[in-house]
Structure formats: C-alpha cells, structure tokens
C-alpha cells in the first residue's frame, strides 16, 4: 500500500491512498483522520485502507483524482519523535579519515543515533530555507521507517514486525555547525534543518524482495542541479532498522508514529558516488588534502529518487531548492 | 495565571485553570481544547483564561472543584519539541573535575543543549519506570519554559517576550549510559528517560520579582526519601532562557508549545547541596577519589518543590518513586 498526505491548512494535511503506479489517489479520511491516526489505530484501519488501495489499483474508485507530488506534505507531516541513525559505517570511516578523527568506539556494536526535530517536516518539493549559506548547506539521502507502538525492552525481531511504513528522506545538515556540537557531546541542534520526505510512504510489502533484514536493498539516486551525485545502495547498512529501534527501545517505550532514519546512505565502492556533499569533500580531502566541492548555494537543487526494476519511482521524488531566509523582518 | 492538565484517557488530558493558592481548579476546555491549543492560540485565548483565573481566585467560579496534584499529567502532556539545556556551568565544572574531562570549549559562549523525547511526558506523581537499576538512575531538578511560535533568526529579546509559561521538571537520566553516548558526539538517547513535570505551569508574572533576565530566581528544593538533598538557586544560570531559545532559533523556526529546560540547577556554594545525584558523586570523587552515594534503587522517592516567601508551593510538588519495568512480558 502507498499513502501520502496532501497539503491543507491543517499541519497534519489530508491522508490519501496513492495508486501503485502513483497516477491517482483517493481520500482516506473517512478511515483515518490523518496519518498519525492511521498509525495509532493500524490494527483497525489497515484492512480498510488496503481494500481501498486494491480497488484504486483496479480503477474502481469513483472519487479517485490525479496524484501529483507537488502538493504533498511529508507522508507523516510531523512526528512526536524523530530519531536519526548513522548506520552506514562507510560514511563515518571516510569522515574520520578526512578529518583525522579518532574512530567512534563501538560504532559497529551500538547504532549511532541522535534525536531530531519532528515538529514540522518538509514536503518533497519544499524549499530548503536556510539562515546563512556560510553554515555549509548539505543534504543527506536516507531511508526511514515509521513504526507502531513498541514497548520498552522489546526485541529487534518484535520491532521488525512493528515497522508499518518505509520512507525516503533528505536530512538537511549545516556542516559548519556540526563539529562544535559534536565536540560538546550533546549532539546536533543548530546543525540540522527540518527533514524533508518524498511524497509517498510504502508498506514494506511494496518493496518485495528489496525489503530484507530491515534494510531497503535498492540504490538511492541523488542528483545536484540535475547531474549525477550518487546512487549508493541500501544493502550496505550495518544495522537493520529493527536493530536501531530495539537499541532505542532498551530504555524508552516507542509511541506509534515514531520515525527512524538510516543516516546517509554510503557505499565502499567509489563508483557509487555519495548521498551527501560532505562525503565527497571527505574523499577529496583524503585524495588531495582539501575539500573542493562547495556546499549548496542559493537556488541550487538537490533531487532524490528510488526506482524499481522498471524505472518507476517508488516513493516519488524529492526535489528541493535552497533559499536564504529573508532576514529583513527579523524580530 | 496557573494552568494544569488533568489526566483523562486522551494523551492531551483536560486543561484546567488552577487558583493562585492551588486549592481549586476550573475547566478551561471551552476556551482551549487542551494546553497545546492554548499555546498555539495564545493571543486569542489568554484574555479569557486570565479573566476566569481572576474570577476563580475571587471564589466566583461556580464550577470550581478541589485541585489535587495527584491526577495531573504534565501541564503540557506532550510536546512536538523538547530541548534541554545545561545552563548552570557549575555542574559541568564539577563533572569535568571529577572525571578528569577536558572542559567543553566555549560552553560559556554557546548554551549546551540536546533534544529529548517530548512524545509522552510524565506527571508529577508518576513512577520512574526503568529498564534496569544498573543504568544508574538519577534525577535532575530543572526549571523550564514553554514558548509561543518564534521565527528563525529571532533575537533573545524577542524570545523573552514569547515565553508563555514557566515549569518545574525532573529530567530523568541514566548515568551509566551517558558517557558512551556523549563520546559519540550524537548526544543522549538511551541515557534519558521520560521527563516529569510539576502539576502547575505559571505565567511569568506569577513569579513577580523572581522572574529576572529569563531566569527563575528561587531555590529548587530537592529531597531524596524525604531527606534534604539540595536547594540550589536559579539565579546562577549562566544563560537566560531567552538566550538558549535564540541560540536554537538561529537555524530553525520554533513552533508554539516547544519546551526548553535549564539543565540541572547547580550552585557554587556547597551548602546549597545539589539537584542530582551525579553532582554529589562528583563532589565525593573530587574529595575522596570515589563516588559514594548510590544512584536510585527500587522504591526510592525523589521530590522537588519551589516555594514563595510564605512557604507556598508555586508549581505543586514532584514526587516520584522508582520502579523496575516488568520484563516478563517482553516482546
């Protein structure tokens, strides 16, 4: 099943079911007021949602309308908890090599994770509105999952069974601000912008054999201003999502609607490129002693997409322009 | 004005106005569905809420009932964003001395802050339900504020004008898990439990002269099992709340209902005791080479209170027992 939230005046938007080919969508608000409600009531909602999805795919939904990713919020427009991992160890290895940092102890035993702002996610075509280009504007292509409630102390196996939706996201990062915050030990606050999501969330079954061991085993295509930037593959994720969730759930119960991110998708094979600028700069530093590729500037565009074997987009695409926030009205 | 949220089956509870002497309360749900709604619509709600508060204090509210802190959620039962600072530098200095850590660079210039879980705050009398006593169960007595919307790039002066409510809170911490997470640079996730709040939130004017420069200038009384543990004073906060807010708002807009914490209240004068166990253990380590005071054990109680010159509780008291989560039904 495919779900999305159309933009409305309400911050939670309007829940719609999207057809398998993403050509059409149909209202689902009579089944679930919004995506958060659907997640909190999955056992009672999912059957009706699935029935309508099948009927939509068969062309039997009279109220179906054309679906365009232009007018979508994030599939879950805001979340009570957003926890972003860093589960592709290749990314960390490159950063450590480039910046001559000590390796993070036990990063292969305990998933790295920080808590981000889930109060207002961005839609797939929303601008990346930044305070200052000097902050080192970067994107990070990631996979994510949205879960049902999971009690404290649950196993990874149980967590896997509670993953309801898979998403594609852009974790917007301000690289000039990250190192100072990391050194404090308190994690990223100033260094992260609002996270953007591709229009469509998928139930894991939509991925077929590409959903394996709690990982999205597909390449994530990233372009900068329409040019190839990378297509790293999800299979090199060191921990599965279920292991990240169980790690967090060790000391806290997880509410329905909590979002978990994979961290920037990163592969050891250099021909795969990369899903963030800082990783390319790290490779340049290792090779040439200096990072050459600039971070994002005004009006630049980053796009992200994941396609199936037939070249069809699975989540719809992310396509975001950078704009500098108007500071003339600063308060 | 004083506000609280009574426990109901709904996670947002029932908004009530509490009398100045905290003896009585009266429904406010005809003015604002819940606390989050009140914060999002402060300009249109606050006048009506204030009018009813004055009428309640004058004994004119026919629907008033007795107020007991027993049945309250946190004043804001859940928040889209919870950002906890560490603004009493004395605490950090002691920890660094005890553990022979390098000082955090520029901690006197940039407020330390991490993002915590706001998806389900605890009420003042809720148990501290932990996974394992070996995690080093600790409390942290803190002041906090809840704000109205604040645009990205706003000044500290503007942020000060947008502080709507002041709260008293217990930031529950698992000390055995903190150092590993700090070393990763990603901040605290496993190392923090759900934060608990005293029953009553105050508008800043309720504090009179004790609300000064974005600080709550009153002692925070902490007891462990009914015995004095500390009464550190809020005036030694190195940054005001408005400075913490402006720091965070530098790269993100702040939504109405965002909660900011001061970090554990801590004073240079040792006779003031301390608001968390780890600080006492740090003092013991500095003096005797080893921390002697154990962390919280099963059934132990921590209580926190702040009183005015007449000894009247301002926020109502926090009083929480430690219980170990039943793991027999682990999934």
Query: Is B189's CB within 8 Å of A104's CB?
Result: no
Task: Say whether pLDDT at B206 is over 60.
Answer: yes
pLDDT score at A326? 78
Query: Is A131's CB within 8 Å of B153's CB?
Result: yes
Please report whether residue B20 resides in a domain: yes
B270 with B212, same domain: the answer is yes
C-alpha triplet A105, A108, A112: angle, nearest 5°: 75
- Average pLDDT of the segment spanning A164-184: 97
A290 with A169, same domain: the answer is yes
How far is Cα A233 from Cα A273, in angstroms, rounded to an integer?
10
Q: Is B299 exposed, middle or buried (0-12, 13-18, 19+ CB in 10 A)?
A: exposed
**What is the domain count for chain B?**
2
How high is the ipTM of this complex?
A: 0.96
DSSP readout, A214-251?
Answer: TEE-SB-EEEETTEEEE--BGGG-SS-HHHHHHHHHTT
Of B104, B187, B251, Cβ closest to residue A135: B251
C-alpha distance from B39 to closest chain A C-alpha (Å): 14
A108 with A192, same domain: the answer is yes
Reduce the DSSP state of residue A181 to 3 states and report it: helix
Task: Say whether pLDDT at B202 is over 80.
Answer: yes
Query: Is B118's CB within 8 Å of A330's CB?
Result: no
Query: Is A185's CB within 8 Å of B180's CB?
Result: no
Task: Say whether pLDDT at B284 is over 80.
Answer: yes
A128 with A10, same domain: the answer is no
**pLDDT bucket at A68, cuts 50 / 70 / 90:** confident
Task: Say whether pLDDT at A328 is over 70.
Answer: no
Of B37, B71, B105, which marks where a domain is finished? B71
Query: Is B190's CB within 8 Å of A248's CB?
Result: yes
**pLDDT bucket at A70, cuts 50 / 70 / 90:** low
Query: Is A184's CB within 8 Å of B104's CB?
Result: yes
Please report whether residue A77 resides in a domain: no
Cβ-contact B267, B233 below 8 angstroms: yes
A103 with A251, same domain: the answer is yes
Of B52, B71, B90, which marks where a domain is finished? B71
Please report whether residue A329 resides in a domain: no
**pLDDT bucket at B313, cuts 50 / 70 / 90:** very high
How far is Cα A300 from Cα A22, in angstroms, rounded to an integer?
27
A48 with A137, same domain: the answer is no
Task: Say whether pLDDT at B161 is over 60.
Answer: yes
Q: Best interface-test mutation with B: which of A128, A171, A189 has the largest number of B CBs within 10 A? A: A189
Please report whether residue A312 resides in a domain: yes
C-alpha distance from A61 to closest chain B C-alpha (Å): 34
- Average pLDDT of the segment spanning A269-276: 98
Please report whether residue A176 resides in a domain: yes
Report which secondary-structure segment, H or E, holds A53.
Answer: helix A42-57
pLDDT score at B327? 65
Give per-residue pLDDT as tens, A201-246.
999 999 999 999 999 999 999 999 999 999 999 999 999 999 999 9
How far is Cα A301 from Cα A320, in angstroms, rounded to an integer?
5
Please report whether residue A219 resides in a domain: yes
A169 with A45, same domain: the answer is no
Give per-residue pLDDT as tens, B218-263.
999 999 999 999 999 999 999 999 999 999 999 999 999 999 999 9
B88 with B193, same domain: the answer is yes
Q: What percent of chain A has a predicted confidence (pLDDT) above 70?
A: 98
A242 with A261, same domain: the answer is yes
Please report whether residue A330 resides in a domain: no
How far is Cα A210 from Cα A143, in angstroms, rounded to an integer?
13
A123 with A66, same domain: the answer is no
**pLDDT bucket at B45, cuts 50 / 70 / 90:** very high
* Residue ranges making up the domain that contains B236: 82-324
How far is Cα A173 from Cα A193, in angstroms, rounded to an integer?
6
Q: Chain B residue closest to A254 (CA)?
A: B119
The reported pTM is 0.97
- Average pLDDT of the segment spanning B46-69: 96
A58 with A111, same domain: the answer is no
Query: Is A152's CB within 8 Å of B131's CB?
Result: yes
As separate numbers, helices (DSSP H) first and strands (DSSP E) second, chain B gives: 7, 20
How far is Cα A172 from Cα A156, in angstroms, rounded to an integer?
28
Of B71, B98, B115, which marks where a domain is finished? B71
Alpha helices (runs of H) in B25-153, residue ranges in sequence order: 35-40, 42-57, 89-99
Q: Chain A residue closest to B258 (CA)?
A: A119
Please report whether residue B272 resides in a domain: yes
B218 with B135, same domain: the answer is yes
Task: Say whether pLDDT at B292 is over 80.
Answer: yes
**pLDDT bucket at A330, cuts 50 / 70 / 90:** low
C-alpha distance from A241 to closest chain B C-alpha (Å): 16
CATH number at residue A259: 3.90.850.10
């Amino acid at each position: 099943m495919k779900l999305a939230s159309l933009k409305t005046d309400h911050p939670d938007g309007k829940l719609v079911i999207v057809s398998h080919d993403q050509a059409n969508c149909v209202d689902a608000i009579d089944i679930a007021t919004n995506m958060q409600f659907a997640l909190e009531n999955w056992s009672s909602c999912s059957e009706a949602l699935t029935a309508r999805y099948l009927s939509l795919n068969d062309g039997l939904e009279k109220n179906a309308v054309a679906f365009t990713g232009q007018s979508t919020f994030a599939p879950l427009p805001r979340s009570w908890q957003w926890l972003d991992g860093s589960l592709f160890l290749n990314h960390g290895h490159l950063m450590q090599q480039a910046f001559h940092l000590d390796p993070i102890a036990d990063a292969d035993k305990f998933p790295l994770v920080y808590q981000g702002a889930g109060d207002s996610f961005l839609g797939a075509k929303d601008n990346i509105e930044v305070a200052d280009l000097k902050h080192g504007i970067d994107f990070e292509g990631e996979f994510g999952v949205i879960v049902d409630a999971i009690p404290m102390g649950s196993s990874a196996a149980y967590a896997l069974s509670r993953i309801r939706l898979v998403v594609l996201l852009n974790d917007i990062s301000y690289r000039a601000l990250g190192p100072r915050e990391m050194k404090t030990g308190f994690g990223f606050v100033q260094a992260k912008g609002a996270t953007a999501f591709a229009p469509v969330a998928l139930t894991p079954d939509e991925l077929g054999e590409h959903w394996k061991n709690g990982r999205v085993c597909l390449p994530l295509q990233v372009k900068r201003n329409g040019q190839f930037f990378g297509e790293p593959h999800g299979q090199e994720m060191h921990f599965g999502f279920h292991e990240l969730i169980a790690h967090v759930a060790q000391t806290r119960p997880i509410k329905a609607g909590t979002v978990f991110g994979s961290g920037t998708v990163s592969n050891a094979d250099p021909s795969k490129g990369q899903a963030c600028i800082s990783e390319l700069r790290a490779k340049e530093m290792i090779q040439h002693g200096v990072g050459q590729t600039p971070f994002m500037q005004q009006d630049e565009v980053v796009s992200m997409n994941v396609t199936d074997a037939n070249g069809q987009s699975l989540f719809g695409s992310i396509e975001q322009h950078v704009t500098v926030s108007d500071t003339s009205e600063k308060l």
